[in-house]
Amino acid sequence: MKLLLIEDEKELALSIQKYLTDKDFVCEWVVNAKTAIDKISIYAYDCILLDLMLPDGNGFEILKELKDQNKTEGIIIISAKETLETRIEGFNLGADDYLTKPFHLSELLVRVQALIRRKNFKGSNIVSFNEIHIDILSKAVKVNNNKIDITKKEIDLLLYLIGNENRVLSKSAIAEHLSGDMADMLDNHDFVYAHIKNLKKKLNDAGSGDYIKSVYGLGYKWKNE
């Protein structure tokens, strides 16, 4: 999978690049709009991560350029701007997702994965991990071909964990992922524990492996045994 990261903040870009590269993505990084447009015109990408505020112009210009060139790349805007107007304008110009800074790298990763899944959708949309199969569209989970009773939130959590395989996910990152817009107001992340516990139990009961590991006091990690 090939990604293009357009971001002028070096430190952030390096972290993103590293996190995604480790996940088998090829992540190219450019710092300004001009190089970005040059790259887009020549190469094809699976996904573009776009910062709106760039030293030589507005990220929206890149969106317009992509539209003009009839490019169909998936685009995730990553921006510190979070007004409704910017969001709407971004979506109108063809962006697929919008992530406000600051965000967790794990969150960015699952968004990229989800976007690529949507883009490459060919009739079925199934995420598999060993004996676990998640049908994204019908919101159903099968373990060893047996359907298990699971809530939407738990599926969300499962996808998040599997997507970030072998990564330590902090409690706050999981909480923010699960609470969405509510995250800014939520200062107690204890509910994560209950969700993890429930999910773990359901998977174990269905005979799946024990993939969810606790990491010190930091959080959790999905790990193939």
User: Which chain residues interact with another protein by CB under 8 A?
Assistant: 9, 11-12, 15-16, 18-19, 80-84, 100-106, 153, 167-168, 170, 172-173, 176, 179, 181-191, 194, 215-219
Question: Least distance from C-beta 167 to another protein, angstroms?
Answer: 6
C-alpha to C-alpha distance for 46 and 54, rounded to whole angstroms: 22
CA angle 131, 194, 102 (to 5 degrees): 90
Helical spans, DSSP H, in 7-69: 10-21, 33-42, 59-68
Helix H or strand E segment including 107: helix 105-119
Identity of the residue, 38 or 184, whose beta carbon is nearer to another protein in the bound complex: 184
Query: Over the Cα atoms of the chain, what is R_g?
Result: 18
In the complex, the smallest distance separating the C-beta of residue 112 from another protein, rounded to whole angstroms, is: 15
If the CB atoms of residues 79 and 208 are measured against another protein, the closer one turns out to be 79
What count of Cα atoms within 13 Å lies in the side-chain half-sphere of residue 94? 21
Q: Two tokens at 172?
A: 């706050």
Pick 68 or 187: Cβ nearer another protein: 187
Q: Least distance from C-beta 37 to another protein, angstroms?
A: 23
Least Å from the CB of residue 120 to another protein? 26
CB-wise, 81 or 142, nearer to another protein? 81
* Pick 120 or 151: Cβ nearer another protein: 151
Is the omega angle on the peptide bond into residue 102 within 30 degrees of 0, that is, cis? yes
Provide the minimum distance between the beta carbon of 153 and another protein in the complex, in angstroms, as a whole number: 8
Residue whose entry in the numeric block shows the structure tokens 């990084």: 29
